[in-house]
């Protein structure tokens, strides 16, 4: 467990939980670590830039990250990320409720 790069196959879901909500065509996703010791790793793993880079076809607008340090959590606001929003989307999940698991499915940043 102590070799460098051990986190390469581990997912955000292994250290954190999340919930997604929608307003218009904007999704927000809050993410919280189970163990405060993992908060630094979460912050290194989930940056606004990485989310924009991982899902360029879905997230068409800017991603903003709010840090709630005393509760060890992050809140992401993803503009233009709901395929038009609940009124226009043809996705079965037109609210993007499942987007929380897009973030939880990303691999953790390396500790090395």
Partner 1 sequence: MAATRFAAKIAGMTKASGVFRIGTGAGFSSDRLDPAVDLARRGELDVMVLECLGERTIAFAHRDRMADPRRGYNSHLERRMRALLPACKAAGTVIVSNMGAANPRAAAEKTRDIARDIGLTGLKIACIEGDDITALVSPATPFMDEPGTVADIHRPIVGMNAYLGADAILPALEAGADVIIGGRLADPSMYLAPLIARYGWRDDALLGAGSLVGHLMECGMQITGGYFADPGVKDVPDLAACGYPIAEVSADGSAVITKLPKTGGRVSAATVKEQLLYEVHDPAAYLTPDVTADFSRVDVKEIESDRVRVTNAGGRARPQRLKVTVGFDAGFLAEAGVSYAGPAATMRGRLACDVVRERLASVYGIDTNVRVDLIGASSLFATAGASGNDSEDVRVHAALRTTDREQAELMLWEVESLLCCGPAGGGGFRGQITAAVETKSLLIDRALVKPTIEMLVS
Provide the binding-site residues for partner 1, judged by CB under 8 A: 13-14, 17-19, 21-26, 28, 30, 32, 34, 55, 57-58, 64, 66, 68, 70-71, 73, 75, 77, 83, 86-88, 90-93, 98-99, 102, 105
Q: Residue 89 CB, nearest distance to partner 1 (Å)?
A: 9
Q: Nearest distance from residue 8's CB to partner 1, in Å?
A: 18
Q: Please, are residues 29 and 82 in contact by the beta-carbon 8 Å criterion?
A: no
**Within 10 Å of residue 39's Cβ, how many Cβ atoms?**
19
CB 39, CB 33: distance < 8 Å: yes
């Amino acid at each position: 467990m102590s070799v460098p790069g051990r986190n390469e196959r581990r997912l955000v879901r292994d250290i954190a939980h999340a919930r997604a909500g929608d307003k218009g065509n904007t999704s927000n996703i809050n993410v919280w670590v189970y163990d405060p010791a993992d908060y630094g790793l979460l912050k290194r793993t989930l940056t606004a830039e990485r989310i924009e880079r991982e899902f360029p076809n879905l997230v068409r607008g800017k991603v903003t990250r709010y840090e709630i340090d005393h509760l060890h959590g992050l809140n992401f606001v993803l503009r233009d990320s709901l395929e038009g929003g609940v009124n226009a989307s043809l996705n079965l999940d037109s609210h993007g409720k499942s987007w929380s698991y897009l973030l939880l499915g990303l691999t953790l940043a390396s500790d090395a």
